Amino acid sequence: MSINQDLIDKIVRLMEHPEDETLRQEIDVWRAAAPENEVTYREYMRLWDTSATLQPLAALRQDPLQPFIAQAPKVRFRWIRYAAAAVVLGIAAWFAFFRQQPVEMITLATKAGQTDSIRLADGSRVILAENTTLRYPATFSHHVTLENGKAFFDIAPDPEHKFMVNMPSSSITVLGTSFNIEAGKEKIAVNVSSGKIRFEGAGDNSHTILEAGKALVYDPQLQKVLEVEKANPNENAWATGELIFEDASLAAVCQQLEKTYEVKIVISNNISTSGKLNVKFSNSSLQEVLDVLEATYPIKISKQANQQILITRK
C-alpha cells in the first residue's frame, strides 16, 4: 500500500471508526511494512487529535444560527465531524505530498571496535557504539532512525518539538532526556538516565512511559513489552565513561566489566564473591579498575591470552 489519497481516506475512516477490525488489520499490515509507514501513521494520528480542538470549529458555537442548529443536534454533530475530517484530509494530503519529495538522508555507521558521535542541529548529542547504524535527514528534523546496534541519546530540551527515534519495530518520543537504546532483531532494550520517554511498539496501540531510573525490554517478534524494571546505572558506561558500584559483589562487578570493556573474566572457585564494593570510576582504564579490585579484595589478577583475565586467591 503506497502513500496516496486512498490510504489517507482509510486512515481517516479508521480514526472515525476505531471498532472496524478489518480496516485496522489492513492499516496495521501497512504500518509494519516499513519504519517510515509507522512514522506517517503516528503523524496522521497527531493531526487528527489536533483537529478536535481547532478554533474555527469551536467558533461555530457563536454563530447567529445557533438557535436553529440547536434544534437539530444530530445534524450539527455530523456536520462538525465531517468538517474536522475534511480539515485533517486537507492537511494530510499536503503532508503526503510533502513526504513524497526526495529527502537526502545521511547514514552514520560504526564498525567493530569503533565508536562515533554526532551533534545534531538542535544541540542534541548521539553516541554510537560499535556495529551501529543511524540515519538522519540532511535538513534537520526531529526524527532519526536507529537501524541497528546501540546508541546513547542526550536530547536537548525543546517543549515545542517532540524528538522521535524510529526503529524497525518500535519508536520512542521524548521532550528532553538522556537514554540508551540497544536495538536488535530479537530484542530492544531501553534504559532511561534522565527525563521521560514514551515507548511505542509497531502494530500496538498501547504505549509505555519510562521515567529516569527505569528500563524495559521489548520483543519485536511478539510485539510486546516483556519487562519494565529498575535501570542499570552502568548501562551507559560505554558512552559516558562512568561506572558506579553500590554494595556490588565481586561477581557483579566482573560481570559489568566484561560488558563495558569487552573482556572475559574468570573467577577461581575458591574465592568468595560476597564482599561488597562501593566506588565510582570516571573515564578509568580497565587496568585502573583492576588495580582497585586487587587493593580491595584478597585476590590476584593476571591477564591471559585472548583478552581473558584470571582472578585467583592472593
Domain annotation covers residue 274: yes
* Rg of the chain taking only CA atoms, in angstroms: 26
Cell 476505531 appears where?
Answer: 18
214-236 pLDDT, tens digit each: 999 999 888 888 878 888 889 88
**Is 148 in the same domain as 68?**
no
**Is 93 in the same domain as 188?**
no
What confidence score (pLDDT) does residue 91 get?
Answer: 55
Number of domains observed in the structure of the chain: 3
What confidence score (pLDDT) does residue 146 get?
Answer: 94
Res. 53: pLDDT tops 70: no
Of 81-85, 209-213, 240-244, 249-253, minimum mean pLDDT range: 81-85
**Is 95 in the same domain as 113?**
no
Q: Which residues contact 238 (CB under 8 A, 6 or more apart)?
A: 115, 129, 150, 152, 260
Res. 200: pLDDT tops 80: yes
List, as one string, the DSSP characters of 49-109: HHHTT-HHHHGGGG-TTHHHHHT-HHHHHHHHHHHHHHHHHHHHHHHHHHHHS---EEEEE
Paired with 247 in beta bridges are: none
- Which of 230, 255, 288 finishes a domain? 230
What confidence score (pLDDT) does residue 65 get?
Answer: 42
- Which of 100, 124, 146 finishes a domain? 100
Domain annotation covers residue 173: yes
**Is 110 in the same domain as 201?**
yes
Domain CATH code at residue 174:
2.60.120.1440
Of 60-74, 133-147, 266-280, minimum mean pLDDT range: 60-74
Q: What is the DSSP letter of 169?
A: T
Res. 97: pLDDT tops 80: no
Q: Which residues contact 164 (CB under 8 A, 6 or more apart)?
A: 39, 142, 143, 144, 171, 172, 173, 174
- Report in angstroms the alpha-carbon separations of 21 from 44, 81, 162, 282: 19, 21, 30, 53
**Is 116 in the same domain as 218?**
yes
What confidence score (pLDDT) does residue 110 get?
Answer: 95
Of 45-59, 154-168, 182-196, minimum mean pLDDT range: 45-59
Domain CATH code at residue 260:
3.55.50.30
**Is 274 in the same domain as 178?**
no
- Which of 67, 83, 100 finishes a domain? 100
Domain annotation covers residue 235: no
**Is 123 in the same domain as 200?**
yes
Res. 140: pLDDT tops 60: yes
**Angle 155-159-161 from CA coordinates, rounded to 5°:** 75
CA atoms of 36 and 94, how far apart (whole Å): 17
- Residue 31: enclosing H or E segment and its boundaries? helix 21-33
Amino acid at 136: Y
Mean pLDDT to the nearest integer, 173-193:
89
**Is 111 in the same domain as 209?**
yes
Question: Taking a C-beta distance cutoff of 8 angstroms, is the pair 299, 306 a contact?
Answer: no
**Is 118 in the same domain as 219?**
yes
What confidence score (pLDDT) does residue 47 get?
Answer: 66
User: Helices 35-51 and 21-33, interaxial angle, to 10°?
Assistant: 130
What confidence score (pLDDT) does residue 50 get?
Answer: 52
Domain annotation covers residue 236: no
Res. 150: pLDDT tops 60: yes
**Is 71 in the same domain as 16?**
yes
Taking alpha carbons only, the member of 144, 139, 112, 138 closest to residue 126 is 144
Domain annotation covers residue 206: yes
Domain annotation covers residue 128: yes
What confidence score (pLDDT) does residue 215 get?
Answer: 93
Place 1 in a pLDDT band, splitting at 50, 70 and 90.
Answer: very low
**Is 118 in the same domain as 221?**
yes
What confidence score (pLDDT) does residue 66 get?
Answer: 45
What confidence score (pLDDT) does residue 191 get?
Answer: 92
Most confident of 50-54, 101-105, 283-287: 283-287
Place 157 in a pLDDT band, splitting at 50, 70 and 90.
Answer: confident
Domain annotation covers residue 224: yes
Q: Give the CA diameter of the chain.
A: 94
CA atoms of 311 and 211, how far apart (whole Å): 38
Range of the structural domain that residue 130 is part of: 105-230
> How is residue 184 written as a grid cell?
536488535
* Residue 115, φ and ψ in degrees, nearest 5: -125, 160
Res. 296: pLDDT tops 80: yes
pLDDT exceeding 70 applies to what percent of the chain?
A: 77
> In terms of pTM, does the model score above 0.75?
no
**Is 225 in the same domain as 151?**
yes
9-50 pLDDT, tens digit each: 788 788 777 778 888 888 888 877 776 777 777 777 666 655
Res. 62: pLDDT tops 50: no
- Report in angstroms the alpha-carbon separations of 20 from 1, 27, 68, 76, 214: 18, 11, 34, 24, 35
